[in-house]
Structure 1
Amino acid sequence: MSFGVGGLMLNESLTIAHAYRPGETWACARERLLAQGASSLPKLASQTRALREVYDRIGHLSDAERHYLSVEADRTEQQAVMWLAICRTYRFVYEFAVEVINERYQSWRLDLGHEVFDRFLADKAECDPSLAALSPSTAAKLRQVLFRILREAGVRSVEGRIQPIWLSGHMKRLIEESNPADLRIFPGNGG
């Protein structure tokens, strides 16, 4: 549940995706980028945590998806690629995207308020002791960060409504090559 760090972190992700050298290990790249100041965060501990988070996310993308992120995608699709990376990194977020956002979008219940997250977390906590052990303040922080990510990715509007994410044919093909089921995290793209 470390998605509680930052938001979508698109700029940091792009910096890392651009600077990554094919064949370089993630650990070496992380050290090199930290030394170069790849993060705009002021404190070294914050930089290290943010870079670790971004590396974890980017590590869940295929080479073709990473290339698309750093070279071919426009800003909207860069946001979509990072939403994909976050959903692949965190099972909880993936399940929220599929079981809540996709289901609500499919049934035209487009409002996505905090109570929807709270209900989903409570339902998941019944089967997962680690979720059940979250303090109310930690749960509120996770909700805050997830809703920030949803807004920054374009999945949720400022007004709190689910928005469709339109993907290019090229991006859809890239996702289908990795896992066609991942299209369900994008409202309007998967059943």
Structure 2
Amino acid sequence: MSFSLGGLMLNESLLIAQAYCSGETWARARGRLLTRSVSSLPKLASQTRVLREVYDRIGHLSDTERNYFLEEADRAEQQAMLWLAVCRTYSFVHEFAIEVLSERYQSWRLDLGYEVFDRFLAEKSETDPNVAVLTSSTCAKLRQVLFRILREAGLRNAEGRIQPIWLSGRMKRLIEESNPRDLRIFLGNGG
């Protein structure tokens, strides 16, 4: 549940994707990335957490997807690519995308308030012991960060309504090559 840190982190992700070395251990990457001042956070511990979080997310993109993210994608597609990385990194977020966002979008219930997240979390706590032990402050933080990620990715507008992300044909094909089921997290694109 370390997605409770930050949001989509587009700018940091771009810098880390440029520096990412496939297969490199986090221990080796850490020092190299810290010297590049990728994060503007003042404390070393905070910088390390952000770098590790983003590095982990970027590591869930294929080399081809990472190259597309850096060299071809426009800003909206970069945001969509990071949404994909977050969903691949965190099964909880992936499940929320499929079980809540997709279901609500398909049934035209486009409002997405905090109570929807709270209900989802309560349901998950019944079957997942890791979720069941979360404190109320941790749950509130997870909700806050997930809704920030949804807004920054373009999946939730300022009025609190779900909106689709439209992918280019090229990006759709890249995702299909890696895992066609990943398209389900992109409302209106096969999900």
Number of aligned residue pairs: 190
TM-score by length of 1: 0.96
Which AA in structure 2 matches 1:13?
S
The residue aligned with 2:24 is 25
Secondary structure of the residue aligned to 2:162 is coil
Note the C-alpha offset of 1:20: 2.8
Kindly indicate whether the alpha-carbon contact (under 8 Å) linking 2:20 and 2:55 is maintained by their aligned counterparts in 1: no
Note the C-alpha offset of 1:33: 1.3
The residue aligned with 2:104 is 104
The residue aligned with 1:84 is 84
Which AA in structure 1 matches 2:24?
T
Note the C-alpha offset of 1:12: 0.2
2-structure distance, mates of 1:147, 1:164: 15
Note the C-alpha offset of 1:187: 1.2
Which AA in structure 2 matches 1:16?
I
Kindly indicate whether the alpha-carbon contact (under 8 Å) linking 1:30 and 1:55 is maintained by their aligned counterparts in 2: no
Secondary structure of the residue aligned to 2:127 is coil
Q: Quick one: percent identity of the two aligned structures?
A: 75
2-structure distance, mates of 1:181, 1:156: 22
Which region of structure 1 is more displaced relative to structure 2, 27-36 or 105-114? 27-36
2-structure distance, mates of 1:31, 1:149: 27
Task: Write out per-residue CA displacement over residues 66-109 of structure 1, whole angstroms, 9 at most, x where no aligned residue.
Answer: 11111110000000000000000000000000110011001111
The residue aligned with 2:56 is 56
2-structure distance, mates of 1:74, 1:173: 16
**Using a 3 Å threshold, how does the CA distance of structure 1 residues 45 and 80 change in structure 2: closer, same or farther?**
same
Kindly indicate whether the alpha-carbon contact (under 8 Å) linking 1:34 and 1:48 is maintained by their aligned counterparts in 2: yes
Q: Cα RMSD between the aligned structures?
A: 1.2
The residue aligned with 2:135 is 135
Kindly indicate whether the alpha-carbon contact (under 8 Å) linking 2:155 and 2:164 is maintained by their aligned counterparts in 1: yes
Task: Write out per-residue CA displacement over residues 111-169 of structure 1, whole angstroms, 9 at most, x where no aligned residue.
Answer: 00000000000001100111011111110110000000000000000110001100000
Which AA in structure 2 matches 1:17?
A
2-structure distance, mates of 1:60, 1:19: 15
The residue aligned with 2:95 is 95
Kindly indicate whether the alpha-carbon contact (under 8 Å) linking 1:26 and 1:55 is maintained by their aligned counterparts in 2: no
Matches within 5 A, 1:106-125: 106-125=106-125
Secondary structure of the residue aligned to 2:93 is helix
